[in-house]
Amino acid sequence: MARTRCYDKKSGLKKGTWTLEEDKKLAAYVTKYGCWNWRQLPKFAGLSRCGKSCRLRWLNYLQPNIKRGNYTREEDQIIMKLHAEIENKWSAIAIHLPGRSDNEIKNHWHTSLKKRSTHELTCNGKKREANNVNKKSDEDQNISPNESYIEVSSCVTTDQNMENIMDAECEINQEELFEESIGNFWTEPFLIDSFISTTSNSEFCVPLEVEYGLFVSPFSPIM
DNA sequence: AACGGTTGCAACCGCGGAATA
DNA sequence: CTATTCCGCGGTTGCAACCGT
């Protein structure tokens, strides 16, 4: 599944699959002190990793509100709809799917949704062609080509309710989303709780600014 | 059972933009 | 204004698991 472990002699930094030990260290450190500086963080957290790698690992895997497992039909529909609108803006799409990282969404798109989308486009094309025959009558009834298209594209949205759900989803106030995720962050019992309990604070080196609260990340529990 | 091809996903890489000196 | 540093994003890669023959 994951890459085999390797070591970059040039930089002296480790690459490849993260071990449970590394996960524990990173999760415990970020939870306690926040991500005040990704580049410096691994040094203080006692990790032989580059900052980018730590950031990625945290965002895609260790973050407490991260949702794992199968995508729901709603999630698939949201992704496909947003991708049709804004294309490969994965981070923007991820905003509409709390708990899913941009990387995860991107992977999901490339592995399954892309094929489905292509298939459905083909399917729509055929339907649209067929519908062109009836276009004239639509115009007579003051129905725009778009409306007509939406109507026949049942292949994409077989359930009108789903469309409504998605539209509502898109209108969710971003502040609410943020508050919700922060709320979950602090209140839900997470895997990392056990990490923290098993990782003593004394294992970390902490910059004075962080230690004494001179610098506080907005994501830090110190807040 | 063995093999080769395909799939799913974690992780890396390079680039661009924002922030800072 | 320029140079440098850092972060975030999107594309790509590599590998284990799965599947079909």
Task: Give the tens place of pLDDT for each residue, A161-202.
Answer: 444 434 444 343 433 443 344 334 333 444 455 555 555 555
Q: Which nucleotide is nearest to A102 (CA to C1')?
A: C9
Round to a whole number and report the distance in Å from the CA of A131 to the C1' of B15. 44
Mean pLDDT of A48-53: 90
Q: Which nucleotide is nearest to A1 (CA to C1')?
A: C16
Mean pLDDT of A90-107: 88
Neighbour-count burial for A86-109, b at 16+ CB within 10 Å, e otherwise = eeeebeebbbbbeebbbebbbebb
Round to a whole number and report the distance in Å from the CA of A84 to the C1' of C9. 19
pLDDT mean across residues, chain A: 66
Q: What pLDDT, on a 0 to 100 scale, did the predictor assign at position A54?
A: 92
Round to a whole number and report the distance in Å from the CA of A82 to the C1' of B19. 30
**A38, A55 in Cβ contact below 8 A?**
yes
What pTM did the predictor assign? Answer: 0.69
Mean pLDDT of A74-100: 87
Res. A95: pLDDT tops 50:
yes
Provide the greatest CA pair distance for chain A.
77
Res. A205: pLDDT tops 50:
yes
A38 vs A50: CA distance, rounded Å? 8
**What is the share, in percent, of chain A residues with pLDDT greater than 90?**
2
- Structure-model confidence comparison of residues A53 and A146, the more confident one: A53
Whether the CA torsion A103, A65, A94, A35 is positive or negative: it is negative
Q: Which nucleotide is nearest to A92 (CA to C1')?
A: C9
Round to a whole number and report the distance in Å from the CA of A156 to the C1' of B8. 24
Q: What pLDDT, on a 0 to 100 scale, did the predictor assign at position A195?
A: 59
**A103, A58 in Cβ contact below 8 A?**
no
- Structure-model confidence comparison of residues A199 and A30, the more confident one: A30
The DSSP element (H or E) to which A6 belongs, if any, is strand A6-8
Q: What pLDDT, on a 0 to 100 scale, did the predictor assign at position A12?
A: 74
Q: What pLDDT, on a 0 to 100 scale, did the predictor assign at position A1?
A: 41
Res. A21: pLDDT tops 60:
yes
Mean pLDDT of A76-90: 87
Among A73-77, A117-121, A169-173, A206-210, the range scoring the smallest mean pLDDT is: A169-173
Mean pLDDT of A98-108: 88
- Structure-model confidence comparison of residues A67 and A179, the more confident one: A67
Instruction: List bases, strand C, within 7 Å of protein CB.
Output: 5-12, 14-17
Q: What pLDDT, on a 0 to 100 scale, did the predictor assign at position A113?
A: 81
Res. A151: pLDDT tops 50:
no
**A193, A21 in Cβ contact below 8 A?**
no
